[in-house]
Amino acid sequence: MNSSAGRFNRSVVRASDDLVARLNAQAVTTVYEAAGQKGALDSAIRAIVPGMRLCGRALTVRCQPADNLTLHAAIAIAQPGDVLVADVADFVEAGHWGEITTVAAQVRGVVGLVINGGVRDVAPIQQRGFAVFARAISMKATVKAVPGTINQPIMCGGVLVQPGDLVLADDDGVVVVEYDHAEAVIQAAIEREEREAEVMRRLEAGELTLDVLGFRKALDHHGLHV
């Protein structure tokens, strides 16, 4: 392939700001359950500092391990509200992202990074309020040599991520919601939240989870009674 046309795709469907905002109003765990327990990335990919959170549109990036050239290119293509989702083949012995890339991305409105490899410069990234979810932290350097792909389907954390999918992440992990299913998942999440509010009301009134959630039947099945 002798041009960037195939590797670097700029034509991607983009969810509305309203859709992103409604997803962002939900908890990661609620969205995961509402999506039929689909879309959860490997639990090893987590916030590099507790308390980080992001929600946005996936801009997918595939890099060679220990080579972040394509992440720099992705920053140039990124639009406000994007989340960079990067596949570096699970390579953790390099810091594919750091303070320099954070600053460049942040001024373009990128809301965060999800990567199945290593990153570095944790303290400056935290100070700048940029959300990063990674498999590892590594101080080791990268090269800038081999171009990968941008806005092509990738695998990250065991999940197929398509460009334009929605990404939500907090201290419980990262979940990806397929663009085509986002509206239905958000509605299901809202309904689940309403049901859980009633559960909480009953628990706070002193009822047991065994009764409120119907788990007592499972104990009864085994001849156990409490």
Residues tagged in the binding site annotation: 120-121
- Partners of 175 in beta bridges: 40, 168
Residue list, annotated binding site for Mg(2+) = 121
Strands 159-161 and 154-156, by their bridges, are: antiparallel
Question: What contacts 52, CB < 8 A, 6 or more positions away?
Answer: 112, 131, 132, 133, 169, 170, 171
Give the separation between CA 39 and CA 56, rounded to whole angstroms. Answer: 15
Q: What are phi and psi of 147, to 5 degrees?
A: -70, 145
Q: Tell me the one-letter amino acid at 1.
A: M
Which whole-number Å values give the CA distances from 69 to 29, 72, 148, 211, 218, in the listed order? 33, 5, 8, 56, 54
- Partners of 24 in beta bridges: none
CB atoms near residue 185 (< 10 Å): 25
Q: What are phi and psi of 39, to 5 degrees?
A: 90, 0
End-to-end CA distance of the chain: 67
Q: Identify which of 144, 154, 151 has the alpha carbon closest to the alpha carbon of residue 101.
A: 144
Q: H or E segment at 6? A: helix 4-7
Residue list, annotated binding site for substrate = 120
CB atoms near residue 75 (< 10 Å): 21
